[in-house]
Amino acid sequence: MDSKRTPRVVIVGAGFGGLNAARLLARRPVQVIVVDRKNHHTFQPLLYQVATAGLSPGEIAAPIRWILGGRKNVEVLMEEVTNFDLDRHLVITREQEIPYDYLIVAAGATHAYFGHEEWEPIAPGLKTIEDALEIRRRVLLAFELAERRAGDDASLNFVVVGGGPTGVELAGTLAEISRHVLAHEFRNIDPRSTHIILLEGSPRVLPAYPEDLSHSAENQLRRLGVDVRTFTMVTGVEPGAIRMGEKCLPAAVILWAAGVAASPLGSKLGAQVDRAGRVLVQPDLSLPDHPEVFVVGDLAALKDEHGDMLPGVAPVAIQEGKFVAHTIARELNGQGRTNFHYFDKGSLATIGRAAAVAQFGKIHISGFIAWLSWLFIHIFFLIGFRNRLIVLIQWAWSYFTYQRGARLITGSTTLPGWSESKVASQTCEEEGALRKPSKIAALK
C-alpha cells in the first residue's frame, strides 16, 4: 500500500456490524465505501412488530445515507456484491470492481429451510422489511378471508415453526392480536378462537437460554393462549397444511423461524465455513490467509473463551464492527493486533405484553421486569437514530393499549394455501382416521 495514498476500507453490508465499523472509521484518515443492496438499515429486533402491525417500516429503519450523512470520507453505494478477488484486492459487484486496502464483510444471514427451499413461498421467514410486510399481509388477510367465508369451515390455524426468540415473539404477539386487538371487530367470526401453534423440534423453547427461563417462557406463552408443541419436527410444508411425521395439521398461515443460514457471500471468500455457512475467522476476526480481510456479525464463526460459538445477535455484531474499526486504526498507526473478546451484556427475549425472559450473568428474570429490561436495552442502547423516541412512544402505546395502527393490507389479496385449507383440513382428518384403529380392532 502506497504510504502517500489514503487507505481505502470497503464495508460490505450496512447491518449492525458494518454500520458501527463505518461510524468509527469515519473519524480516521481513511476512505470508507459502504456497499449494500438495500438503501436502508433495519433494526431487526423490532421486525416482528412490523410483521404483526405494531409499527410501520419507517419507524424501525432509516436510510444508510442519512445515518452516515455529514461524513466526508464515507461513500455509500447501493449495489449487490457478487464475488471477491482477494488476490487482487477487489470487491466485485454487478456493475463494477471496487479496489480496497482493507475489506470488512458484514453481509449477515438469511433463512435456512434445511434443504427444502420449496417451502419458502408457503412459509416465509423474518429477516427483512419485505419479509415483515409479507407476513403482516398474510396474517391480516387470513382474518378477512375467514370473515368473508365464514361458512366454509376452513381452519383458522396460525403455525409458527421454530421456538427461538423470533418464533416466540411472533407466536406471543399473534396470540395478543387475535385475543385482544381484533377480538370485537368481526361479525361472522370470533378471532379469539384462532389457534396459534408454536412448533419446536428440541425439548424446550428458547433452547439457547437456561432451562428455567425456557420453562418460564413456555408458561408465559401458554397463558397467552399459544399451543406450544416441543419434540416436534416438521417433515413437510404444503399449501394449507403442515406435516410432522405421520401427523398432519391444517394451517391458514405458516411462518418460518426455525433456521438461519449465513449469507452466500461467505462461500465466495475462499475460507473454511461451518455447516451454517459462517466463515471460520481468526481470533482477530480476519481470514487466515488474508489479514486485510475481516468478517463480522452473523457471517463470522468464532468461539468465546469458554469454547461456545458466539451467537448471531446484534450485540455481537456491534462489538465486532467496532473492534475491527479499532484494529484497522491501530494498524495504520503502526500498532500490533489484539484478539477479539465479546463482552456479554445479557440475553433477552420478549414474548408479549409484560411478558419476557432475561439473563444477565447469573441473574435470571421473567415477566414484567424482564419486559421492561428488554424495552430499555433494545430501544435506547441499540437504536442510534434520532427518531428512537418516536419509536418508543409508538411501540409502548401499542403494547399498553392493545391498539395496532399499522394494520394495512397491501399487495395481493390472495393467500397461499387458503383455498386449500378446507381440503387440507378434511385430508388431515381423513388421514388421522385411517391411522386410528377402530374400537373393534382395539378390543381384539
Q: Which residues are catalytic?
A: 169
Q: By 3-state DSSP, what share of the chain in percent is helix, strand and coil, each rounded to 5?
A: 35, 25, 40
| Alpha carbon distance 395, 425 (integer Å) | 36
CB neighbours of 109 closer than 8 A, spacing ≥ 6?
127, 260, 261, 262, 263, 276, 298, 299, 312
Strand pairing of 195-199 and 157-161? parallel
How far apart, in whole angstroms, are the C-alpha atoms of residue 125 and residue 47? Answer: 11
CA–CA distance, 130 with 342 (Å, rounded to integer): 31
φ, ψ at 244 (rounded to 5°): -130, 90
Cβ contacts of 140 within 8 Å, gap of 6 or more: 53, 407, 408, 409
Q: How far apart are CA 49 and CA 435, in angstroms?
A: 41
Q: What nine digits make up the cell of 153? A: 369451515
Largest alpha-carbon pair distance within the chain? 92
Angstrom distances, CA of residue 224 to CA of 68, 169, 323 = 41, 12, 41
